[in-house]
Amino acid sequence: RARRPGRRLLSISDSYNAKQLWDKGFKGEHIKVAIFDTGIDAKHRSFKHIEDRSNWTDEDTLEDRLGHGTFVAGVVAGKHPDCHGFAEEAEIHTFRVFTQRQMSFTSWFLDAFNYAIQTRMNILNLSIGGPDYRDQPFIDKVWEMSANNIIVVSAIGNDGPLWGTLNNPADQPDVIGVGGIDYKFNLAAFSSRGMTTWELPAGYGRVKPDIVA
């Protein structure tokens, strides 16, 4: 569709005034970001530093045939002028843990988590979540990553507006749970919300999401 003269698309990084951080030199340089998703389009021209691609599924491919993983990586480190990511100098490491049928298993995540620890990721992004907070091997491995100084960021879920709808692992105290907002910067109706339950019955839980975007 043709654009009107003089009009410019507003990217998400513009909305959050990321340029203020870029001007201070914070562009993600030397930061290793693990994207756990559907992979990435390695030939996409909007990335500077795709450092590693790994596949943990039962499909014999590294390609992102759904586009979701490429989109998430673009939010983190895309360099396209019309849709700029937040940290274009960040090192992108993609972990393909979902098939093109959008299927995954705990065992695939555990293997991939171990590799993330071994390769010393700084930040790990999970655009996933679910109600299975009793998946103890998964939960323990998330805590292990925090113990190894990996900052884990995870979507809080799309099960709002009811209270008590937090998804795992974003409901864990050591994970940064990210909620959604609408175009007026209010908490989106679909965004999950509530209090953590890990502290009960010994104490009160903590309100989540931790941040919204």
Q: Is 21 exposed, middle or buried (0-12, 13-18, 19+ CB in 10 A)?
A: middle
pLDDT mean over 82-103: 93
- When pLDDT is cut at 50, 70 and 90, the band that residue 10 belongs to is low
Flag whether pLDDT at 8 surpasses 80. no
| Share above pLDDT 90 across residues of the chain, in percent, rounded to a whole number | 72
Phi, psi of 124 (to 5 degrees): -130, 125
Task: At 137, give phi and psi (nearest 5°).
Answer: -60, -40
pLDDT for residue 4 is more than 70: no
Model pLDDT for residues 149-182, shown as the tens digit of each residue: 999 999 999 999 999 999 999 999 999 999 999 9
- Run of H or E including 146: helix 136-147
| Cis peptide, bond prior to residue 209, ω within 30 of zero | yes
Provide the token pair at 156.
């809080």
Average pLDDT over residues 68-74: 94
The answer to whether the CB of 107 falls within 8 A of the CB of 66 is no
Among the ranges given (115-119, 128-132, 166-170), the one the predictor scored with the smallest mean pLDDT: 128-132
Q: Are 209 and 177 in contact (CB under 8 A)?
A: yes
pLDDT surpasses 80 at 103: yes
